[in-house]
Amino acid sequence: MYPKTSQLSSLFIVGTLIAADKTAHADNINTSATICHSMSGVEQGDINYSGGAVFNRSTQSRIIVCPIPRSPLPAGASLTFFVDGSNLPNSSTDCTLTVYDSNSTASESQRFVESTGSTFRSWHHPVNLSTPAGISQSWQAIVQCTLPGNNGGFILGVTSVQ
């Protein structure tokens, strides 16, 4: 058995160390595009997945939606995301990232288009949104993208910066 003074000293040291570090640390949340799905159940068969990427094998463009996992943020924190993808020559991917409040009301969104010229191009698109007033712990975010037909564009993943 250990003497009581030794046990109490150990508890005091552990308690002091725990109380001293009040900084919350969170890692970014990286999500593969395999979490994405077709907006239309009828078109789900046109959406394919390979190596963590999602693409459209139809000859027509198709809309996909990707939920974005995230952790609660402190008040006043900015909402920062990155959407990663690539496009074959002469194609465009059109995306809108939207934040919804606890009532499923869109509170803020940002649209962007990634296009290529005559060469293949990978992209890493930042999306910065201001924190909507009154945002709660239950807000949600999604990115909705229109993928070009004929396997012309790929979504590789989404990062939620913490």
User: Which 3-state string (H, E, C) describes 89-135?
Assistant: CCCEEEEEEEEECCCCCEEEEEEEEEECCCCCEEEEEEEEECCCCCC
Tens-place pLDDT, residues 43-86:
999 999 999 999 999 999 999 999 999 887 766 777 899 999 99
Of the listed ranges 21-30, 55-64, 117-126, 139-148, the one predicted with least confidence? 21-30
Q: Which residue has the higher pLDDT, 91 or 1?
A: 91
pLDDT at 70: 84
What is the C-alpha separation between 146 and 58, in angstroms, rounded? 12
The reported pTM is 0.81
In a domain, 21, yes or no: no
In a domain, 152, yes or no: yes
Domain enclosing residue 67, as ranges? 26-161
In a domain, 150, yes or no: yes
In a domain, 20, yes or no: no
Phi (first) and psi of residue 70, to 5 degrees: -155, 165
In a domain, 15, yes or no: no
| Domains of the chain: total | 1
In a domain, 44, yes or no: yes
Strands 53-56 and 92-100 turn out to be unpaired
Domain CATH code at residue 39:
2.60.120.260
In a domain, 86, yes or no: yes
* Residue that is written with structure tokens 């999306």 in the block: 127
Tens-place pLDDT, residues 2-31:
555 444 444 344 344 344 445 555 689 999
